[in-house]
């Protein structure tokens, strides 16, 4: 690959400077994936079709673009009078995110054990759990939260339970994958000593998958926080509710402050996990 | 035989204990703060069961006159996700060239570009939707813009990482022979990073299908809005069939992107 590129540029400079050599050296990779150009063409085509289908009124939209600038200017005039409300709702959001993460971590390990094909070895059970959780995962979180709100009423319970549905489904899939990636030899060796399945899982599989579990948990915390910040907008509490209510009642100062706070927390979580990842990789 | 032989790596054990201690502390703190009691879930178990068996099951179809509307709203959601991701990918490609210090013609600007993308990315799509709704009004165009912003920012980060992972040597050798910036992009970055770009693009489509459903719920149109209307109208059995429809849509798209990803990686 590199060679061809070096040749290619060498050739180009040759051509420019001398242009005596008539014959061109064939450059370019021979094993080109013919699928990629087809894929790109298909993408462009589909995009054009979907844009036509959407019938967006671009001119009207463009004429309102200056409004965005105005809104941002107003958002930047922070209003510190509701600081305590913003902070307490922010803490609530973080708590809900962490709490749902912890509950789903436990549930995810249990269901992941059931769903992984190499641990309990009950085939119909693992297929059943996997397909159930595929369904749960496919439906976006706010839908679950909305339904939980109907069942449980307002409050942190609905948020935690709704977030747990999606997070557990996500963990079940990823943990089952990590469990399945453990070599069969380990399991067989332990089985030969007469260890029970549960203790094989606790003593061999779980420690081996630990670092992956930790990595997925970290990644999920980011997602859960942003999901949780969003949930308030569909009716659950937390900082999302503060943002949406203040935006709708044109109190941009408070909303702007809350948005900046959301950004700051999300950024801190991201940085934290980048740092941890680097440390683990060392 | 009382003495046990210590097994396992000692460092790992430390990490375990640290992990568990942090988890327990967080658990206690958050539980105290939110007053969350898992028992309420169990106490409300009857309400759950009755809700599921009476209101939710069996799934009912919406009125036959509304079915075409529901189906077209699914198409709107798909079209919204797809077109916004494609546009975002194109813009993100050009931006990411300036976001990597080793490739960009203006290395000093790279940090600013990345910081800008980080800012856009760390604000959730729905918050963007709300900000844009208050300035642009409600409609599919705004949903498009909100999805565009978040997936653009996400792809800038992913593309910059791909570029930095892959094409160091190629770019350096090309620079050494005096290739210009566009030449470097076409000859070195595109061939080596295209696969990575495309697989990120597919991932982004998967994410955006879900996100466009959610953005639809607050006013972006599409199947999310339909679902929201039925839930607010207490027609839970119809809502269930729409949830099933959404799940089917997401699973099918995931399957297709999975297949495409395999084809691309060949």
Average pLDDT for A261-282: 81
pTM, to two decimals: 0.79
Closest partner residue to B174 (CB to CB) among A5, A71, A138 is: A5
Burial class (CB in 10 A: 0-12, 13-18, 19+), A275: exposed
Per the structure, the complete domain to which residue A249 belongs is given by 80-281
| Contact partners, residue A94, CB within 8 Å, separation at least 6 | A225, A228, A265, B30
Is the pLDDT at A254 greater than 60, yes or no? Answer: yes
Per-residue confidence (pLDDT) for residue A195, from 0 to 100: 79
Whether residue A199 lies inside any domain: the answer is yes
Percent pLDDT > 90 in chain B is: 3
Task: Tell me the pLDDT band of A1, cut-offs 50, 70 and 90.
Answer: very low
Closest partner residue to B30 (CB to CB) among A50, A99, A243 is: A99
**How many residue pairs from chains A and B have C-beta atoms closer than 8 A?**
223
Burial class (CB in 10 A: 0-12, 13-18, 19+), A120: middle
Q: Report how far apart, in Å, the C-alpha atoms of B196 and of each of A44, A122, A201, B150, B263 are.
A: 18, 37, 35, 19, 13
Average pLDDT for B73-80: 87
pLDDT tens string B213-224: 888 887 777 888
Nearest to A140 by CA among B163, B124, B12: B124
Closest partner residue to A262 (CB to CB) among B127, B243, B248 is: B127
**Domains of chain B (ranges plus CATH)?**
78-265 (1.10.3720.10)
Residues in chain A within 8 Å Cβ distance of B192: 1
Q: Scanning the structure block, which residue is given the tokens 């390990």? A: A109
A115 within 8 A of A129, measured Cβ to Cβ: yes
For residue A4, give both structure tokens. 């061809």
Whether residue A240 lies inside any domain: the answer is yes
pLDDT tens string B234-261: 778 888 888 888 888 888 988 888 888 8
Per-residue confidence (pLDDT) for residue B89, from 0 to 100: 92
Secondary structure of residue A22 in the 3-state scheme: coil
Chain A, window 7-66: residues with a beta carbon less than 8 angstroms from a chain B beta carbon: 8-10, 12-13, 29, 33, 35-36, 39, 43-44, 46-47, 49-51, 53-58, 60-61, 64-65
Whether residue A66 lies inside any domain: the answer is no
Closest partner residue to A9 (CB to CB) among B136, B177, B227 is: B177
Chain A, window 109-128: residues with a beta carbon less than 8 angstroms from a chain B beta carbon: none
Task: Tell me the pLDDT band of B136, cut-offs 50, 70 and 90.
Answer: confident
Percent pLDDT > 70 in chain B is: 92
Per-residue confidence (pLDDT) for residue A2, from 0 to 100: 46
Q: Report how far apart, in Å, the C-alpha atoms of B124 and of each of A95, A225, B80, B130, B224 are.
A: 18, 9, 17, 10, 17
Whether residue A265 lies inside any domain: the answer is yes
pLDDT tens string A158-172: 888 888 888 999 999
A14 within 8 A of A21, measured Cβ to Cβ: yes
With CB atoms and an 8 Å threshold, state whether B123 touches A263.
yes
- Phi first, then psi, for residue B177 (nearest 5°) are -90, 5
| Contact partners, residue A234, CB within 8 Å, separation at least 6 | A142, A145, A146, B217, B218, B228
pLDDT tens string B103-119: 777 778 888 888 888 88
CA atoms within 13 A on the CB side of B240: 13
Higher pLDDT, A81 or B1: A81
Say yes or no: ipTM exceeds 0.95. no
Chain A, window 164-203: residues with a beta carbon less than 8 angstroms from a chain B beta carbon: none
Whether residue A31 lies inside any domain: the answer is no
Is the pLDDT at A38 greater than 50, yes or no? Answer: yes
Whether residue A33 lies inside any domain: the answer is no
| Contact partners, residue B159, CB within 8 Å, separation at least 6 | B92, B93, B96, B99, B193, B196, B197, B200
Average pLDDT for B140-165: 86
With CB atoms and an 8 Å threshold, state whether B83 touches A6.
no
Residues in chain A within 8 Å Cβ distance of B140: 54-56
Number of H helices, E strands in chain B: 12, 0
Task: Tell me the pLDDT band of B9, cut-offs 50, 70 and 90.
Answer: low
Per-residue confidence (pLDDT) for residue A8, from 0 to 100: 52
Closest chain B residue to A93, measured at CA: B34
Whether residue A250 lies inside any domain: the answer is yes
Q: Name the domain count of chain A.
A: 1
CATH of the domain at A172: 1.10.3720.10
Percent pLDDT > 70 in chain A is: 88
Please write down the long-range contacts of A238-245, taking CB distance under 8 Å and 24 or more positions apart.
A238/A89, A238/A90, A238/A92, A238/A93, A238/A96, A238/A159, A239/A86, A239/A89, A239/A90, A239/A92, A239/A93, A240/A93, A240/B126, A240/B127, A241/A89, A242/A82, A242/A85, A242/A86, A242/A89, A243/B127, A243/B130, A244/B130, A244/B218
Task: Tell me the pLDDT band of B91, cut-offs 50, 70 and 90.
Answer: very high
**Which of A16-20, A232-236, A270-274 has the least mean pLDDT?**
A16-20
Average model confidence (pLDDT) across chain B: 81
């Amino acid at each position: 690959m590199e060679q061809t590129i070096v040749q290619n540029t060498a050739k180009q400079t040759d051509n420019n400077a001398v242009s005596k050599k008539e014959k061109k050296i064939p450059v370019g990779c021979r094993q080109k994936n013919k699928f990629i150009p087809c894929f790109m063409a298909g993408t462009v085509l589909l995009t054009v079709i979907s844009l036509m289908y959407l019938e967006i009124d671009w001119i009207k939209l463009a004429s309102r673009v200056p409004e965005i600038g105005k809104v941002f200017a107003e958002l930047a005039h922070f209003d510190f009078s509701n600081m305590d409300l913003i902070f307490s709702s922010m803490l609530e959001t973080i708590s809900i995110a962490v709490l749902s993460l912890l509950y789903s971590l436990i549930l995810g390990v249990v269901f992941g054990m059931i769903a992984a094909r190499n641990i309990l070895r009950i085939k119909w059970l693992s297929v059943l759990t996997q397909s159930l959780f595929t369904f749960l995962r496919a439906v976006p979180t706010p839908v679950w939260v909305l339904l939980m709100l109907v069942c449980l009423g307002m409050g942190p319970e609905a948020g935690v339970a709704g977030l747990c549905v999606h997070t557990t489904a996500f963990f079940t899939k990823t943990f089952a994958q990590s469990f399945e990636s453990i070599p069969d030899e380990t399991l067989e060796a332990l089985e030969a000593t007469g260890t029970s399945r549960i203790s094989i899982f606790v003593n061999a599989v779980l420690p081996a998958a630990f670092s992956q579990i930790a990595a997925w948990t970290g990644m999920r915390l980011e997602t859960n926080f942003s999901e949780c910040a969003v949930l308030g907008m569909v009716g659950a509490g937390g900082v999302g509710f503060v943002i949406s209510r203040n935006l709708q009642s044109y109190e941009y100062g408070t909303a702007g402050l809350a948005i900046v706070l959301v950004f700051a927390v999300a950024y801190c979580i991201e940085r934290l996990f980048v740092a941890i990842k680097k440390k683990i990789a060392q | 035989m009382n003495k046990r032989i210590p097994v396992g790596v000692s460092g790992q054990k430390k990490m375990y204990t640290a992990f568990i201690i942090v988890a327990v502390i967080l658990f206690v703190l958050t539980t105290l703060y939110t007053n969350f009691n898992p028992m309420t879930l169990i106490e409300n178990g009857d309400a759950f069961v009755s809700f599921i068996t009476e209101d939710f099951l069996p799934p009912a179809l919406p009125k036959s006159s509304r079915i075409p509307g529901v189906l077209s709203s699914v198409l709107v959601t798909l079209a919204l996700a797809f077109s916004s991701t494609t546009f975002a990918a194109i813009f993100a490609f050009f931006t990411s060239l300036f976001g990597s210090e080793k490739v960009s013609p203006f290395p000093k600007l790279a940090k600013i570009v990345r910081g800008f993308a980080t800012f856009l990315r760390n604000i959730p799509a729905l918050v963007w939707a709300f900000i844009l709704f208050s300035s642009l009004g409600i409609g599919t165009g705004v949903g498009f813009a909100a999805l565009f912003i978040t997936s653009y920012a996400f792809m800038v980060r992913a593309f910059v990482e791909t570029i930095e992972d892959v094409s160091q040597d190629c770019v350096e050798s090309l620079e050494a022979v005096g290739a210009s910036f566009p030449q470097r992009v076409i000859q070195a970055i595109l061939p080596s990073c295209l696969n990575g770009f495309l697989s990120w693009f597919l991932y982004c489509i998967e994410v955006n299908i879900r996100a466009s459903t959610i953005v639809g719920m607050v006013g972006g149109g599409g199947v999310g809005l339909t679902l929201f209307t039925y839930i607010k109208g207490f027609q839970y059995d119809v809502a269930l069939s729409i949830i099933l429809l959404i799940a089917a849509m997401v699973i099918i798209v995931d399957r297709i992107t999975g297949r495409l990803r395999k084809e691309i990686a060949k």
